[in-house]
Structure 1
Amino acid sequence: MTPILPIRLMSRKIVPKQDFIGLSHDYGELYYSLHGVMELMIDGQHYIAPKHHCIWLPPNTWHYCICQNEVHFLTLHIDPIWAKALSDKVCVLTVSSLMQSVLGYLHNQPQDRLDIPSNQRLLQVAYDQLLQASSSDNYLPGSNDPMIAPILDLFNTNLADDKSLKQLAKIVNTTERTLMRRAIKSLGMSLMEWKLRLRVVKATAMLNQGFSVERTALELGYSSSSAFISMFRKLMGVTPGEFRHQRKA
């Protein structure tokens, strides 16, 4: 007989402008978005996890949701003993294709059937996948670096502004090489990679609101829809059109 695992799965939905109070739990918690971009405020830091990523919270982590658009998501509540095998810090995990399939299947199961042996075995698979998942401090990290922070603010304000690295360096009175080095140190990635990630986060939000692929591409500063579609497929694994179709399914 398959034992009942100390893991509980809950399906939830956030509607735009929904208010949330801060909370913490004595168990570990995983937030995984099925549709939309998952956003949490944790200890004063903004965490983002688009599709194929999830946010891991160790036990007793104070947090609240700040999603700007409708999000359908799952949470996994993991017993403190089992949570010890995972990171003791908040992080963003990459969700494997196997885990995506498992969580998608369990999401469609009635709550009272999650304890049956076959579904408990799938929860064990999901947990095993978490143990192997690659992690990062944040999908879209912030920065307090006096040279990097103003550029991130510029990207957030106007993604259509396509300044070169040389032009960005001039804005903060430094060299391209110094700017590149400080970006890697502060963000763990290049400024262009950060900007691409911001674009895909903004794109998923716009597509979820019903924007056309063409309008989304234009708003994000792409000269053609094909360039936008190529970027989106690279980072999300599907085209913008397929992403919209999955949301409606």
Structure 2
Amino acid sequence: MANIYQPPEQHPGDGSQVFFYYQHFSPDTLTPIHNHQWGQLQLSRGGLMELVAEEQRFMSLSHCGIWIPPGVKHESYMRRCVQYSCMNVPLALAARLPDHTCLLELSPITEAILADLNLRGVELAQTPADERLLSVLLDQLSQAREVQPFLPVTDHPLLQTIAAELEAMPEGGRRFAAWADALGTTERTLARLCQSQLGMSFIEWRQRYRFIHGLQLLRQAISVKEVALTLGYHQTSPFISLFRKYAGCTPQAYRQQLAQGNAAALPRP
């Protein structure tokens, strides 16, 4: 049975301020359908969060936040442990952000401010310095680029089983034929399921999980070669080809863009 998390329903301040809350979610945690009077930028680290809003499904990305406008009904599910934080934006300020649910790319400045607030456990700005940080944060988010949903999600139980393993082990996992045997079906039937439910092949689906994991690794102080090996490649070149396919640049070029603060919106469908 899933763990149920009920998010706060009351603003902790006077209703006009941006506020934050932070949670560590255990595996198999569900947030039932609900909405808020304020907008939310939902962020997750350490695991993928699935969110459903406005008849669309979104998968959290390490370099993006999921923006949900005020009043929009939504629900979410965490398969694994997730370090979660949420930026809550009052109605008047939320008007500066998109009027629809979407993935917003986080600039290096945005990430740095969010990391600082998280580290200090800031829920409400209590000092002029923090108020200035929030002002910069809102400016950055109002200019953020939207990223198209990249990882398809599905309610089909067979594919959900595969998704759980791909999330846990994007670097490996079973081959397609082994999955068909394990799930008690045929390769042909499973291939049709992937196309009808996901709009892509199993190989493409697995590659996208690897790419997302690669993005997370590239933001750490490890070499491109180590990233490739961690993802299960025996050589660097296949990983570079995979990265170029979705990002339009090499992993090293992407790192340089990150350092310069002008990384392109990633990934692209």
Letter in 2 for 1:17: D
- The structure-2 alpha-carbon separation of the partners of 1:200 and 1:14, relative to structure 1 and needing over 3 Å to count, comes to farther
**Cα shift at 1:91:** 0.5
Question: Is the 1:92–1:139 contact (alpha carbons within 8 Å) kept by the matching residues of 2?
Answer: no
**Alignment deviations for residues 165-197 of structure 1 (CA, whole Å, 9 cap, x no partner):** xxxxxx88xxxxxxxxxxxxx98xxx9987643
**Alignment deviations for residues 44-91 of structure 1 (CA, whole Å, 9 cap, x no partner):** 432112211110001111112212111112111111121122111110
Letter in 2 for 1:110: G
| Secondary structure of 2:28 counterpart | coil
- The structure-2 alpha-carbon separation of the partners of 1:228 and 1:72, relative to structure 1 and needing over 3 Å to count, comes to farther
**Cα shift at 1:139:** 3.3
Query: In the alignment, which residue of structure 2 is the partner of 1:72?
Result: 83
Query: In the alignment, which residue of structure 2 is the partner of 1:177?
Result: none
Equivalent of 2:32 in 21, 26, 37: 21
**Cα shift at 1:141:** 4.7
Percent same amino acid at aligned positions?
24
**Cα shift at 1:11:** 1.7
**What pairs up with 1:141-220 in 2 under 5 angstroms?**
141=152, 196-201=207-212, 217-218=231-232
Query: In the alignment, which residue of structure 1 is the partner of 2:236?
Result: 226
Equivalent of 1:87 in 98, 108, 112: 98
Query: In the alignment, which residue of structure 2 is the partner of 1:62?
Result: 73
- The structure-2 alpha-carbon separation of the partners of 1:160 and 1:96, relative to structure 1 and needing over 3 Å to count, comes to farther
TM-score by length of 2: 0.57
Equivalent of 1:106 in 110, 117, 124: 117
Structure 1: runs of 5 or more not aligned: 144-151, 162-170, 173-185, 206-211, 239-249
**Cα shift at 1:12:** 1.8
Query: In the alignment, which residue of structure 1 is the partner of 2:184?
Result: none
| Secondary structure of 2:34 counterpart | coil
Question: Is the 2:33–2:75 contact (alpha carbons within 8 Å) kept by the matching residues of 1?
Answer: yes
Question: Is the 2:229–2:236 contact (alpha carbons within 8 Å) kept by the matching residues of 1?
Answer: no
**Alignment deviations for residues 133-154 of structure 1 (CA, whole Å, 9 cap, x no partner):** 11034233569xxxxxxxx99x
TM-score by length of 1: 0.61
Distance, in Å, in 2 between the alignment partners of 1:43 and 1:53 is 19
Letter in 1 for 2:33: G
Question: Is the 1:42–1:62 contact (alpha carbons within 8 Å) kept by the matching residues of 2?
Answer: yes
**Cα shift at 1:98:** 0.9
Question: Is the 2:20–2:124 contact (alpha carbons within 8 Å) kept by the matching residues of 1?
Answer: no
**Alignment deviations for residues 97-131 of structure 1 (CA, whole Å, 9 cap, x no partner):** 11111100010113367321111111111111111
Letter in 2 for 1:226: T
Query: In the alignment, which residue of structure 1 is the partner of 2:134?
Result: 123
Letter in 1 for 2:231: A
Structure 2: runs of 5 or more not aligned: 1-14, 167-172, 177-190, 193-197, 217-225, 244-249, 256-269
Letter in 2 for 1:56: W
- The structure-2 alpha-carbon separation of the partners of 1:192 and 1:121, relative to structure 1 and needing over 3 Å to count, comes to farther
| Secondary structure of 1:19 counterpart | strand
Letter in 2 for 1:9: F
